Structure 1
Amino acid sequence: MRVPFARTGAAPVPDHALQHLVRMRDGTRLATDVYLPEGADATDRALPAVLVRLPYDKNSRYVYFDKVARLFTARGYALVVQDVRGKFRSGGRTLPFLREPDDGYDTIDWITHQSWSDGSVGMFGDSYYGFTQWAAVASQHPALRAIVPRVTTVDFNATTARDPRGTDTGVGLPVWVEGIEYYAHHWVDQDTYDWEPDRRVRPVIDQYERAFEAIGARSAWFDLLAPRQTDVLHALGRHPFDSRPVPVLHCVGWYDNIGIPHMNDYLALADRPGWDAVQYLWAGAVDHENYRLDHAPVTEDTDHAISEAALDLLLPEYAGPALDFFDVFLKGSRPVTALSKVTWELGHAGWRTATAWPPAGSGERTFWLTGPATAAGPLPGGALVGEPVADEDRTRWAYDPDDLVPSLVPDSFSYLRDHPDAGPLAARDDVLAFTGAPLADPLDLAGPVSLDLHLAGTAPVFDVFAKVLDLAPDGTARLVVRGQVSVRGDGACREVRVECGHTGYRLRAGHRLALLLASSDYPMYLPCSGSEDNPWTTLAPKPSTQTLATGGATPSRLTVTVLAAPAD
């Protein structure tokens, strides 16, 4: 059956931008827009420049840089926005990651030779255009003075599959098919393709083969990742963290679907001599597409993807932290002491500052899983209690590849656009639920969240998906954090750590902490094969049974980081 698709090409260059075709060292020319302050020309004065290098069409409504530019130029910056190699108006082969260090270096060098440039360059942007900043750091151009990577990571390998059979611990990651599918939409050729896979097709890989056949072209990078995996950082040559330190403002979203590796980047550099003094953190209750918890679920009036008024309200928060950072490290118009080392949002309770993350005065609090006999049922299910449980107990749940646990959202990149009630999932017999007592006082989460579970499975490989929820008095349960692992099993019970990332979140009085465990999360993650077969190519994934042990010598527990006392 032919797959229908929509093809999107480059939007017009706005009147207030001047496009250049900038030559790279191999002769390839990259389309590059320059925005200067209103009324300025190339001979007025030397300006610091902020560079953005992205693959999503520099002139598209999706990235809205025509509007962002007005905020940067109003503060006295030249904004330079470039289509990366092989995308939209830029030449070269359409292949992500590999040429970004050289292309970043050459573009920075071009900027420094422009008459309007004062010789200093910063970089800014989200996701892939956060990665292009790290690639430029690896290239070590001396004019690069500061970067502001948002909702991104230095290593996109950390977001895709890691087969537990190839790890020392026997624990890896499930296949994040949504993340790998991205390359099949955005990295085929210069344009972008929108199409809906037929999720009923087996083997799974055939969904994408049909789409590529309809398009008449295919994504080389998708072919590397599905079912194989390529090491992005090895391709760069030098790890960015081994390069000359530059000031970094890490802009992390508590609901970002790549928030875990981004926080790992920040924590690694905050502990790395030479880098530690210039690491800054901005962390908000936002997702990958900049939807806010305060507005979730969004309406047409609050959806910045379709509402110009909503976008205008978003832009100062989107660009403001970066502008303040560049005022210090590019312009030198503000002292370093004007910046807080950590600016973070406590969901439902506003913004805070701190000198480090987690904030001073925070500490761990453990909730022990108990009552597994009632866990395979609707909320509240089993219990989360504050003391270890003496008696050992066990419960089981099934994995049925023909009846997968749904992901609830069509797109986890914009999770807060929907922010669904996850409570109904607990009523499934293939989901375990555990719930704490109603809170007499607010509980402020501020730091990492993790699970230590004693697990066994009947399959050689099985997946575990965990969702930590805020269960409200009205019975609705909204996501706080989530984590997932893929486990190599031999039938024996073993302890498995599930990292659920970091958060700043207030559980209000009367609310309850809840936890869901399952073995599928589809279509966000590829169904486990339940065998030694490759999950991309298997025709018949096999069912399995997982066992959770609690209490005694096999305790299972949820550990959260909390502030010592509720914040004001």
Structure 2
Amino acid sequence: MFTVPPRRRLIIALFALALTALGTTPAAQAAPDAGTGHGSVTAAYLRGATPGASVELLDAAERIVGRGSIDQLGSFLVRELPPGEDYRFQVDGLRGNSFRVLDTAAPPQSHYADQRLRPGMNYLRMRDDITLAAFVRLPAGKTLADGPFPTVIEYSGYQTAAPNPLVVGAATGLAKARDPLAPANGLVLGAELAPDIGFASVSVQMRGSGCSGGAYDLFDYPTVYDGYDTVETVAAQPWVAGHKVGLVGISYSGISQIAVAGTEPPSLAAIAPMSLTDDLHSTGFPGGIFNTGFADTWLTERQSDAAPGPSGGQPYVRQLIQRGDQDCAANQSLRLQTPSLRQLVADNPDRTPAVFDHRSPATWAPKVRVPVLLTGALQDEQVGPQWTRIIDEFDANPDVWVRLINGAHFDSLGPQILSQWWEFLNIFVAERVPPPSPALEALSTVMYAAITRSPAIRVDSARLSNTPSVQAAEAAFAARPRVEVFYDNGAGAAGAGGLAAPWSLGLNEWPSARIAPTTWHLGGGGSLSTAPGPSESLAFRPDPTARPAGTLDVVGPSDLPWQPIPPYNWAPLPGQAGVGFTSPVLDHDIVTAGPASLDLQLASTAPVTDLQATISEVRPDGQESYVATGYLRSSYRAVDANATALQPLRSYRNPTDLPPGFSEARISIDPLAHAFRAGSRIRVTLTAPGGDRTSWRFDTPATDGLVVDTIGLGAGGSSLVLPVIASAVAGAPRPAVCAGLRGAPCRTYQPAFNGG
């Protein structure tokens, strides 16, 4: 029997759709086309069916496990299916082919070895017959004949597989006319830096985005196991040195690395994730409150990117389809099956484990066996600073090194970390002594100036170049602290606001065993002291509209927070909308490194109240410098059995209203890595959410100043627990310019109405 090829069926479906749009109806109704069904990991999809026809998915027992209508592109998709044989779609009663819904078992090695990739655009075939766009770049000036090459992969849903040079796109972007065929700036590590410094690089587009096939699924199982297949396909290429690859990337392509490594692809050598999150819920719902700023903007952009080209989607898709890329065009066929990402979020505010667990890096981290260099910033305005909660999930892996730094989202790529990134990739991926790299040193300087407009110290690429062997280089790298915390970034040798930290602190783990949790009691008159005062209470009226929503007019991706001294507007606490508590002048340095907790005795006139706690340093010159923030919707105040004095961990399940009287409500404060110098004071403020962060906004209901929250003070009342590193002192003088600390707004200190 003659079978119409899938691409031909797609063309027919698109032609029929065009006739309908023109008001033209075919003379006779054709018989329905059942299309071709395929199984993915826990999902099934149908392509090439008759648009508008009714469809059912039957399992092996002939039970209906999914139903709906074929979309305008001839496709249909069902998720969350148990693996098994003999599934089939039925279209208007016409039974289609049988197929298997996949489990996580890998296909035969021949599936990977039989694919051949060359420089330029490629389409990698996944285990479920979906193809992903992948752009291969060899080391600068090299051809395949010069191989094999140490190779890295960057795996993302941004404009990843776009074919033109990223540097050209960045340059044209400065002229407000960015090259539509250039990768996004966030792909700078794989698309630009890696090939320029001697690595082959493969920029892989996640399913449902760009020129890749499939439907976007927000880190669902098909996307995770695409990562496994990608690693094995790339590593099988004859031009890949040792048939081993590394994963690199910042932000989106940092987050993706943990799950991919957690699937344990045998050809993965190492990963180097930067600026990731620990859990999609912690970024999307900080303290249980929906993040209507960066998180919502990011979801909206991903939904837009998943629209079918050439009429929608990413810019390079439109360009390539118009130029005749038939693979890219055919790969748009499942795009209308992308779920509503905002609806997915709206339906699961209480962190439904079945939705969030497998989509979150912290779930996969314990399964990672390869070496890891994990880096991030502690005032990250995009994914948030709470990423540090993932660190102890790697405890079973001895080859994990973590680098933390104060600053914004980009600062995990700063020069003091990039030098270690260079060493890590050479040792664990290229398996060579890290050579000096004049190209890395020169290009990184240009990169910092172009992307952040900030001065930076030089990347030192030669620190291990004189070691006698790879084994010696690895031993020297491994001898460094497992966790290194860089302090006062922005107050170093690069000048105020520049990319340089003047000192660092080495720790064996996070949270460190060196922490001495130190309790400061909230007292009358706005006092903050190590000894509790008399018991009393204090009322205030939290109002989310009392201050500007953020310190910058930014909610989506922007390089404005990465500039040396951004134009922050960090407004003081107005009227009775917030309370403050300030310590006496410190007589010695207090160095912190770790999470903190504000433990409230709380009562409210509302059954649910949203709160924000912010820690800052009040300097001797009267300036106040931001340090860290935490949030809580009071209905999520219950903590779980793993909670500690410094970390009020919670499941965000089973929310409950506040009862009459006082209840304990612990606010988890994002990790601190800050030295409060002798002569300064520690301050904590309590307000409605908003006003203290760059890009986060909050779905806090309006109060109109009518809600009254009351906290207990003094003995038996509220307290702040800080992660103080015992016996540590600041490794550099107090920063001369308050506003120069990266990621830390500065303002003139003004006491709150209660005196603190």
Pick the TM interval, shorter chain: 0.7 to 0.9
- The residue number in structure 2 matching 1:203 is none
Distance 1:136 1:320, change over 3 A: farther
CA–CA distance in 2 between the matches of 1:66 and 1:565?
A: 37
- Counterpart of 1:433 in structure 2 is 580
CA contact (8 A) 1:464 1:519 kept: yes
Q: 1:335 aligns with which of 450, 453, 474?
A: 474
Higher relative contact order (CA 8 A, sep 6+): 1
CA distance in 1, matches of 2:216, 2:522: 49
Question: Would the aligned equivalents of 2:255 and 2:361 in 1 still touch at CA under 8 Å?
Answer: no
| Distance change (3 Å), C-alpha of 1:313 and 1:399 | closer
Q: Which residue of 1 aligns with 2:405?
A: 284
Letter in 2 for 1:383: S
1:51 maps onto 2:148 in alignment = no
CA contact (8 A) 1:452 1:496 kept: yes
Q: Distance in 1 between matches of 2:728 and 2:149?
A: 46
Q: Are 1:471 and 2:618 matched, yes or no?
A: yes
Q: Which moved more, 1:33-42 or 1:261-270?
A: 33-42
- CA distance in 1 between partners of 2:594 and 2:718 (Å): 23
In 2, Cα distance between equivalents of 1:386 and 1:50: 51
Q: What amino acid is aligned across from residue 155 of structure 1 in structure 2? A: D
Distance 2:302 2:614 in 1: 29
Q: Which residue of 2 aligns with 1:546?
A: 709
Question: Could you tell me which residue of structure 2 aligns to residue 108 of structure 1?
Answer: 231
Show the counterpart of 2:290.
Answer: 175
Deviation at 1:68, TM superposition (A): 5.7
**1:95-115 C-alpha deviation (Å, 9 max, x unpaired):** 321132121011112112212
Equivalent of residue 677 in structure 2, options 487, 508, 511: 508
Whether the 8 Å CA contact 2:215–2:338 is kept in 1: the answer is: no
Of residues 201, 218, 232, the one that matches 1:96 is 218
Counterparts of 1:29-68 in structure 2, within 5 Å, are 29-58=131-160, 59=162, 61=170, 62-63=184-185, 65=187
Q: How many residues align?
A: 487
What residue number does 2:742 align with? none
Shift of 1:402: 5.8
For the 8 Å contact 2:378–2:407, the answer to whether it is kept is yes
Q: How does 1:366-405 map to 2 (within 5 A)?
A: 366-371=519-524, 374=525, 382-389=526-533, 391-400=534-543, 403=546
Flag the 1:293–1:427 CA change in 2: closer, same or farther, 3 A: farther
TM, length-normalised to structure 1 = 0.75
Q: Name 2:107's counterpart in structure 1.
A: none
Alpha-carbon deviation of 1:360? 6.5
The higher radius of gyration belongs to 2
| Partners of 1:332 and 1:80 in 2: CA distance | 27
1:87·1:94 contact (CA, 8 Å) conserved in 2? yes
How much does 1:510 deviate? Answer: 3.1
Contact 2:207 2:216 in 1 (8 A): yes
TM superposition shift of 1:128 = 2.1
Q: CA distance change for structure 1 residues 293 and 94 in 2, over 3 Å: closer, same or farther?
A: closer
Q: CA–CA distance in 1 between the matches of 2:536 and 2:360?
A: 49
Identical counterparts, % of pairs: 22
In structure 2, C-alpha distance between the alignment counterparts of 1:549 and 1:358, rounded to whole Å: 29
Q: Which residue of 1 aligns with 2:265?
A: 141
Q: Would you say the 8 A contact 1:449–1:561 is kept in 2?
A: no
Residue 157 of structure 1 is matched in structure 2 by: 281
Q: In the aligned structure 2, how far is the partner of 1:426 from the partner of 1:23?
A: 56
Cα distance in 2 for residues equivalent to 1:56 and 1:237: 18
The secondary structure found in structure 1 opposite 2:255 is helix
**2:245 alignment counterpart:** 121
Give CA-to-partner distance per residue, 1:516-566, whole Å, 9 cap, x none.
111231683334348xxxxxxxxx999421111111222423423234131
Instruction: Give the match's secondary structure for 1:188.
Output: helix
In 2, the alpha carbon distance for the partners of 1:309 and 1:544 equals: 43
Label 1:525 to 1:152 Cα distance change in 2 as closer, same or farther (>3 A).
same
Whether 1:256 and 2:256 are equivalent positions in the alignment is no
Q: Which runs of 5+ in 2 are unaligned?
A: 1-117, 171-183, 307-312, 316-335, 416-443, 492-501, 636-657, 732-756
Deviations 1:36-89 (A, max 9, x none): 223332232323321111122125544264676564346542222222222223
* Contact 2:280 2:359 (C-alpha < 8 Å) held by counterparts: no
Of the structure 1 ranges 465-474 and 35-44, higher mean CA displacement relative to structure 2 is found in 35-44
- 1:293 offset after TM fit, Å? 11
Residues 542/362 of structure 1: CA separation in 2 closer, same or farther (3 Å cut): closer
CA displacement 1:232-259 (0-9 Å, x = unmatched): 3346999424535222222121112445
1:381-427 superposed Cα distances (whole Å, 9 cap, x missing partner): x12112222x1111111134665663223337765656677764223
Q: Structure 1: where are the runs of 5+ without partners?
A: 1-15, 163-171, 194-215, 295-301, 375-381, 531-539
Say if 1:291 and 1:52 are closer, same or farther in 2 by CA, change over 3 A: closer
- What is the distance in 1 between the residues matched to 2:568 and 2:232? 50
**Closer/same/farther in 2, CA of residues 332 and 220 from structure 1, 3 Å limit:** farther
